[in-house]
């Protein structure tokens, strides 16, 4: 097998029916990887699958609530029934900062909702995938990839989105711990951190003169990244070439680096 030929591999992408997740799905399917998209919205799942039509990899979708372990385990079983194996799990589901109120103004419900959506989803998806991957390793097939999308907020923090930064920092810590625990099974764990991605959200910021003058100089970017940049990393991480990249963090800033 060529290092970047993913024919026969199978990847699960949670929250893969839009944005970065869809970019990852398109890149993997284009390299021959079979993809199972898990999302809450059946219509969005269907549209995502349609956008991947004609690529070399097969595409499957599952309605799944990643905050619910029963739903995740059912989706994993259905994916295994369809493809026979899962080689990679890209946990992309989550929600953003959710407003500009300060830490002391946050409600208990807001705190728990943020943690459930951002952190529990990664935990449940990774646990289901890791159980399958380690069992397969015991049978002699040592290959597995766990990848979570995180945020630069997990490193630098963020004003008035503290609970968001806390969940993303927890994901990075989980990834590093899993990198140690699962390495003996041939399973790697990584986090991808988006910097500034070209989107409708960022275009509005760039129209704000104060933001451009006061904030942009502090953000270390070479250019705005594209969703396809994540796809390139995903293809690399699903290849044999990435076997030593356990618990590294890839940072998008128009290109990508590892540290």
**Catalytic center residues:** 164
Residue 241 in tokens: 């070439």
Sign of CA dihedral 197, 208, 154, 44: negative
Nearest to 149 by CA among 29, 26, 249: 249
Alpha-carbon radius of gyration of the chain: 18
CB 76 within 8 A of CB 127: no
In which order are the strands placed within the sheet that holds 256-258?
A: 59-63, 34-39, 10-14, 88-91, 144-149, 187-193, 249-252, 256-258
């Amino acid at each position: 097998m060529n290092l970047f030929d993913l024919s026969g591999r199978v990847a699960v992408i949670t929250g893969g029916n839009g944005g970065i997740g869809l970019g990852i799905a398109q890149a993997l399917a284009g390299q021959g990887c079979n993809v199972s998209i898990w999302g809450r919205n059946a219509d969005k799942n269907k549209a995502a699958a349609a956008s991947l039509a004609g690529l070399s990899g097969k595409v499957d979708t599952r309605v799944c609530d990643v905050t619910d372990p029963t739903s995740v385990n059912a989706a994993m079983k259905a994916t295994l029934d369809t493809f026979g194996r899962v080689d990679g799990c890209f946990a992309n589901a989550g929600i953003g900062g959710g407003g500009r109120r300060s830490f002391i103004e946050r409600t208990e419900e807001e705190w728990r909702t943020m943690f459930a959506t951002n952190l529990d989803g990664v935990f449940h998806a990774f646990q289901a995938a890791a159980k399958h991957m380690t069992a397969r390793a015991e049978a002699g097939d040592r290959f597995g990839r766990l990848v979570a999308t995180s945020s630069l907020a997990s490193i630098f923090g963020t004003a008035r989105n503290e609970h968001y930064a806390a969940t993303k920092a927890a994901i990075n810590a989980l990834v590093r711990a899993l990198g140690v625990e699962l390495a003996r099974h041939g399973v790697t764990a990584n986090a991808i951190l988006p910097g500034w991605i070209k989107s409708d959200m960022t275009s509005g910021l760039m129209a704000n003169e104060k933001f451009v003058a006061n904030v942009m100089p502090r953000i270390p970017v070479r250019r705005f990244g594209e969703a396809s940049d994540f796809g390139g990393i995903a293809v690399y991480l699903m290849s044999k070439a990435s076997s030593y990249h356990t618990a590294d963090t890839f940072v998008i800033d128009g290109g990508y680096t590892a540290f």
